């Protein structure tokens, strides 16, 4: 009788864990509008505002215009991970209404134009995944360690992180 009860509790626990692993990410995606709403920071490019090893939380449910000073998450062709940097310029074309955005890491000496695709001096709204809503210090360190270990395995032992604000989950 005790074995049956323990087995039932174990199966129930496993079903609940699997349900949480499936439903929580889907639910947060619906609420935030972002596929991966929580990501670990892998570099120092946004220090001191956001540090390496912090966990950022991203949303994309706002229809508000982008503002200078806000921190966004964007994807650049050719880069494995999205980038989290601050908006430093917003340009709205007078005739077409098209929005163009220029970003920069707080700890970087130059803007991000060198990151954008060749011939594209500004980000376009479709490049932007979301806006950083908040962050938790140190919570992303497990992801940083895993990422560094993976890079070491891939590169044969040496790791050099460019001064770009990588994030991962």
* Residues with active-site annotation: 45, 85, 112
Instruction: Please state, in angstroms and rounded to a whole number, the distance separating the CA atoms of residues 150 and 147.
Output: 5
Instruction: Please state, in angstroms and rounded to a whole number, the distance separating the CA atoms of residues 143 and 28.
Output: 19
Buried b (16+ CB within 10 A) or exposed e, 3-13: eeeeeeeeeee
Buried b (16+ CB within 10 A) or exposed e, 108-121: beebbeebbeeeee
Torsion angle defined by CA atoms of residues 128, 116, 105 and 126, in that order, rounded to the nearest 10 degrees: -10
C-alpha angle 149-151-154 in degrees, rounded to nearest 5? 110
Contacts of residue 45, defined as CB under 8 A and 6 or more positions apart, other chains included, come to 85, 105, 106, 107, 108, 163, 164, 165
């Amino acid at each position: 009788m005790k074995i049956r009860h323990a087995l039932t509790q174990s199966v129930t626990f496993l079903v609940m864990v699997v349900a949480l692993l499936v439903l929580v990410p889907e639910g947060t995606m619906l609420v935030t509008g972002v596929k991966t709403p929580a990501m670990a920071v892998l570099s120092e490019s946004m220090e001191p505002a956001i540090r390496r090893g912090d966990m950022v939380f991203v949303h994309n449910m706002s229809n508000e215009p982008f503002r200078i000073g806000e921190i966004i998450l964007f994807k650049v062709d050719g880069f494995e991970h999205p980038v989290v940097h601050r908006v430093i310029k917003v340009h709205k074309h007078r005739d077409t209404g098209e929005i163009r955005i220029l970003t920069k890491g707080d700890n970087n000496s130059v803007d991000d134009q060198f990151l954008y695709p060749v011939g594209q001096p500004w980000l376009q709204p479709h490049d932007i995944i979301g806006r950083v809503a908040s962050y938790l210090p140190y919570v992303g360190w497990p992801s940083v360690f895993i990422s560094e270990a993976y890079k070491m395995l891939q590169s044969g032992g040496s790791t050099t992180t460019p001064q770009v604000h990588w994030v991962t989950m």
